[in-house]
Amino acid sequence: MRHETPSEENPVKPWRKLRFFPSMQPGGWSGLALISPPFAYSLLMLAAPLLLVFLLSMWTQNYLELDRTFTITNYKEAASEKLYQVLMARSVVISVIVTIVTVLLAYPIAYYIAFFGGKRKAIWLLLITIPFWTSYLIRVFLWKVILGYNGVVNGSLLGMGFIEEPLTFILYNANAVVITLAHAWAPFAILPIFVSISRIDKSLLEAARDLGDGPLRRFLRVTLPLSMPGVVAASLIVFIPTVGDYVTPRLLGGTDGLMIANMIQIQFGKANNAPLGSALAVSAMVIVASISIVFVLLNRRFLKVKG
Amino acid sequence: MSSKPPKSLFTYAVFYLIFLYAPVMLLPLFAFNDSAIIALPLSGFTLHWFGLLWETKALHEALYNSLLIAVITAVGSTTLGIFAARAAARYEFPGKRGIVGFIMVPLVLPEIIVGVALIVVLIQLGLSLSAWTVIIGHVLICTPFSIAILQSAFNNMDRSLEEASMDLGENKLGTFFRVILPLVTPGIISSLLISFTISLDEFIIAFFLTGTDVTLPVYIWGQLRFPARLPAIMALGFLMVSLSFFLLLTAEYFRRRANRLTGGHSQSNDGIFQ
């Protein structure tokens, strides 16, 4: 008779449990039954609508009529029209910059809390999240107040005599969008990095020290690689939604800072061309997904490491 | 690791916190500032803008719509969250990772995509936009947060309590309502509060899916174009900050109590992002 013992390589599969212990609850079915309402909701309200967006993107809008013959005209237009190219490229570039800035700024904080937070870790994390439970719109608007011509930054710099004239390169352009988004997404970058740094086995750091690594080498060769899963997660959590941000470019971007979401909204609203808007949305999703997949693949050697 | 942080790192942490709090710190300044222009230097102190809020009827309607939407969203997403979190924490079933992962997708989907997807369906079905269409979208984006919170509550629960109840003759349903549910109640309250807060603040989906029932963020968005209305909006923002601060602290209190009740270890990092 064969004995099957659960082990790392050979975990007991649910259906095997059933066969070996016939009196046990069929947990598999209970689990499936339990998860079916939320799953059905997601299928109905997310998967089906996304599929319809995809279909719609291949139809065409003739004024009030919708022409349901399949065509890729919308995608051709999305790819060839200069305006859409510029907006799409700008959205991706701004999001990449926002992601890099946000993660770079967040890493030291996560590191500080994880290693030196001591008993006050929870308080630090709470302190970081509190400002973000305030109205997103009002927060973004307040950056306009801070960065504006008569704003707080210009006011203080003028008052202290550092500058003669108000700075104008900080509002109504891509810089303003980057600063504001780097602020808006800060906790979403800090928390995953914090979690992965906290999970690092401290004895590895001691081993590195005992073997003669200095603080910098120890950081580069032990801490940083082991915290990469958090960095990758943080980057994706910041990058993906940022590409689709609507409010910040609209309020702070001026004409040079508008992004693809603003154009998608225009197509669904004023321009009344939902199929083109859908094509832009699908293109944006495909581009974002491709970049994310490449990014994960580039980092896959770090992701296999179990901390 | 040595327990002394390098001074530079601590200084950085302080500056970072100032950066994080900079916008919020300005709210009370301008909410009580006796000037129609949002700029420094400040003039006198006034409560005029709060009085103005009290008299603006459109704001009250928007607030009512938002509260209604947020309450229904919170109940809806927490209910779905309980199903999913219990299934994920307690059972193994084929396709589990894929299904749970799929339900969590809205967490990383740009909100504008959710808005676009739902409005396309509504247009095709010929349905009119209303508070309900906003609720559908909000439940979709809040459910992943509910699941994350509830899953940690269900995970931390001591399985032996459940077994004891079954041994003592309760059936599955009785055990669920009399043992499991009370143990995860703090997690449920925390999930209700978090999804309520998210729904109350959500703009893009509401902007796409709201009909004549304008929500509070959509109302604010409309007001941001008129400089004369801005001081009142600052006052409104200040009230909202105070409210969400209070809600967040309450949610945090219940989350910690959940950890203690379920016998789990109160780790500082088992919040909604794990």
Indicate the DSSP class of residue B169.
Answer: T
Give residue A112's pLDDT.
92
**Residue A212 is encoded by which pair of tokens?**
């003669």
Residue with token string 């994880």: A114
Q: Which residues of B touch A27 (CB under 8 A)?
A: 90-93
Does A54 map to a domain? Answer: no
A180 to chain B, closest Cα gap in Å = 10
Cα separations in angstroms, A47 against A44, B80, B102, B107:
6, 17, 9, 14
Indicate the DSSP class of residue A130.
Answer: G
User: What percent of chain B is predicted at pLDDT more than 90?
Assistant: 26
Q: Which residues of A touch B252 (CB under 8 A)?
A: 126
pLDDT tens-place string over residues A199-227:
888 888 888 888 888 888 888 888 898 89
Instruction: Locate the chain A residue with the closest alpha carbon to B238.
Output: A134
User: Mean of the pLDDT values across residues B246-258?
Assistant: 76
Answer whether A248's CB lies under 8 Å from B111's CB.
no
Contact B87 A139 (CB under 8 A): no
Does A238 map to a domain? Answer: yes
Top mean pLDDT of A153-162, A232-241, B242-251 is at A232-241
Give residue B267's pLDDT.
44
Q: What is the ipTM of this complex?
A: 0.80
Answer whether A228's CB lies under 8 Å from A306's CB.
no
Does A139 map to a domain? Answer: yes
| Averaged pLDDT score across all residues of chain A | 84
Q: Which residues of A touch B112 (CB under 8 A)?
A: 244-246, 261, 264-265, 281
**Residue B172 is encoded by which pair of tokens?**
């599955």
Domain that holds residue A227: 102-303
Does A59 map to a domain? Answer: no
pLDDT tens-place string over residues A264-299:
999 988 888 889 999 999 999 999 999 999 999 998
pLDDT tens-place string over residues A79-118:
888 999 999 999 999 999 999 999 999 999 999 999 888 7
User: Mean of the pLDDT values across residues B26-44?
Assistant: 77
**Residue A231 is encoded by which pair of tokens?**
């960095």
Cα separations in angstroms, A238 against A101, A192, B15, B204:
10, 11, 21, 17
Does A148 map to a domain? Answer: yes
Q: Measure the CA–CA gap between A237 and B114, rounded to whole angstroms.
A: 16
Q: Measure the CA–CA gap between A35 and A14, rounded to whole angstroms.
A: 16
pLDDT value at B239 more than 90: no
Report the residue of B11, B80, B91, B244 to disrupt the A interface, i.e. the one with the largest count of A CBs within 10 Å.
Answer: B91
User: Mean of the pLDDT values across residues B24-33?
Assistant: 84
Annotated domain spans of chain B = 58-261
pLDDT tens-place string over residues B147-165:
988 988 888 777 888 888 8
DSSP string covering A39-103: HHHHIIIIIHHHHHHHHHTTSEEETTEEE-S---HHHHHHHH-HHHHHHHHHHHHHHHHHHHHHH
User: What percent of chain A is predicted at pLDDT more than 90?
Assistant: 34
Q: Which residues of B touch A145 (CB under 8 A)?
A: 23, 26, 30, 38-39
**Residue A203 is encoded by which pair of tokens?**
């004895």
Q: Does B246 touch chain A (CB under 8 A)?
A: no
pLDDT tens-place string over residues A164-180:
777 777 778 888 899 99
Q: Which residues of B touch A261 (CB under 8 A)?
A: 110, 112, 204
B57 to chain A, closest Cα gap in Å = 20
Q: Which residues of A touch B80 (CB under 8 A)?
A: 37-38, 41
Q: What CATH number has the domain bearing residue A286?
A: 1.10.3720.10
**Residue B218 is encoded by which pair of tokens?**
């959509």
**Residue B25 is encoded by which pair of tokens?**
């710190």
pLDDT tens-place string over residues B44-80:
787 878 888 888 888 899 999 999 999 999 999 999 9
Of the listed ranges B66-70, B97-101, B188-192, B261-265, the one predicted with least confidence: B261-265
pLDDT value at B251 more than 70: yes
| Higher-confidence position of B114 and B46 | B114
Give residue B270's pLDDT.
43
Number of domains in chain A: 1
pLDDT tens-place string over residues B205-227:
999 888 788 999 999 999 888 88
Confidence of residue A50 (pLDDT cuts 50, 70, 90): very high
Answer whether B222's CB lies under 8 Å from B233's CB.
no
Nearest CA to B1 among A128, A151, A18, A207? A207
Instruction: Locate the chain A residue with the closest alpha carbon to B233.
Output: A138
- Residue ranges with strand state E in B27-105: none
pLDDT tens-place string over residues B129-153:
888 999 999 999 999 999 988 988 8
| Higher-confidence position of B15 and A164 | B15
Confidence of residue B261 (pLDDT cuts 50, 70, 90): low
pLDDT value at B272 more than 50: no
Contact B217 A136 (CB under 8 A): yes
pLDDT tens-place string over residues B90-109:
888 888 889 999 999 998 88
Give residue A15's pLDDT.
53
Indicate the DSSP class of residue A214.
Answer: -
pLDDT value at A14 more than 60: no
Contact A138 B240 (CB under 8 A): yes
Rounded (to 5) percent helix, strand, coil in chain B: 75, 0, 25
Does A206 map to a domain? Answer: yes
pLDDT value at A7 more than 70: no
Give residue A307's pLDDT.
42
Does A271 map to a domain? Answer: yes
User: What percent of chain A is predicted at pLDDT more than 70?
Assistant: 90
Give residue B72's pLDDT.
97
Does A35 map to a domain? Answer: no
Cβ neighbours for B102, distance < 8 A, ≥ 6 positions apart:
A39, A42, A47
Return the bridge partners of A66, or none: A61
Q: Does B268 touch chain A (CB under 8 A)?
A: yes
Give residue A26's pLDDT.
59
Give residue B212's pLDDT.
82
Q: What CATH architecture applies to the domain B58-261?
A: Orthogonal Bundle (1.10)
User: Mean of the pLDDT values across residues A248-254?
Assistant: 87
Among B17, B90, B120, beta carbon nearest to A127: B17
Neighbours of B232 (CB within 10 A): 21
Give residue B262's pLDDT.
63
Q: Measure the CA–CA gap between B269 and B259, rounded to whole angstroms.
A: 12
Q: Which residues of B touch A243 (CB under 8 A)?
A: 110
Confidence of residue B269 (pLDDT cuts 50, 70, 90): very low
